[in-house]
Amino acid sequence: MSLEPQLRAGIDELGLSLDDKQIGQLLQYQALLGKWGKVYNLTAVRDAAEMLTHHLLDSLAVVAPLRRQTGSGPVRLLDVGSGAGLPGVVVAICCPEIRVDCLDAVAKKAAFVQQAAGTLQLPNLRGVHGRVEQVRDAYDVVSSRAFASLVDFVAGSREALDPSGIWMAMKGRHPQAEIAALPADVFVFHVEQLRVPGLDAERCIVWMRPAAPDR
């Protein structure tokens, strides 16, 4: 059974405009996930329809919010604890203007993303093996998807964020306790509720930036 109609319907519901090539790349990426998932231990989800909602559409839900926050110019994004490349690979497919580095401490997961970049012909995507605490490049956006608590995420990735950059943390339920535990020099400027087509679960993005010195 083809997943393309459901994918196209979800893309329409999310208000995204993707061409046939990008939709093909998304389906090809899911096929790679299915093929190599068990070998590389990429994801616990094995069912193709579930993979579409829990991985592709879940990641696609952040594309429009990300564009609203960053505009249309060139952007550097670091996806921390990216694993199989979620949402980093999906962002790279949908947003050619965003240079995406998918960082993971597990070498075979970073290698999978690098392999996907070659297979899908995505020059703006790179798989990087390492720990976020060791990153010294300055990124405009540092993202994570269910990677760690907000406190740990911010503390570990602070050196990787440009002083004028933003953090994008994908979460399930509104993480009120995690937000309350953040240090005073981190400003949560928006908690954005998401609706993922076909997925009956709470999702949100916590948008953060370094607080101004006088805040």
| Residue boundaries of the structural domains of the chain | 4-210
Q: Which of 1, 46, 22 is nearest to 11 (CA)?
A: 22
The phi, psi pair for 124, rounded to 5°, reads: -95, 10
The predicted-structure confidence for 149-202, as pLDDT tens digits, reads as follows 999 999 999 999 999 999 999 999 999 999 999 999 999 999 999 999 999 999
- Tokens at residue 39, please? 């070998």
Q: How far apart are CA 11 and CA 2, in angstroms?
A: 15
> What local confidence, expressed as pLDDT, does residue 215 receive?
42
Nearest to 35 by CA among 118, 129, 115: 115
Cα 14 from chain centroid (whole Å)? 16
Q: Which residues in the chain show pLDDT less than 70?
A: 1, 44-45, 213-215
For residue 214, the model assigns a pLDDT of 56
Q: For residues 191 and 176, is the Cβ–Cβ distance under 8 A?
A: no
**C-alpha of 101 from chain center:** 10
Tokens of 150: 């907000």
CATH architecture entry for 4-210: 3-Layer(aba) Sandwich (3.40)
pLDDT score at 44 = 66
Q: Tell me, what's the pLDDT at 1?
A: 60
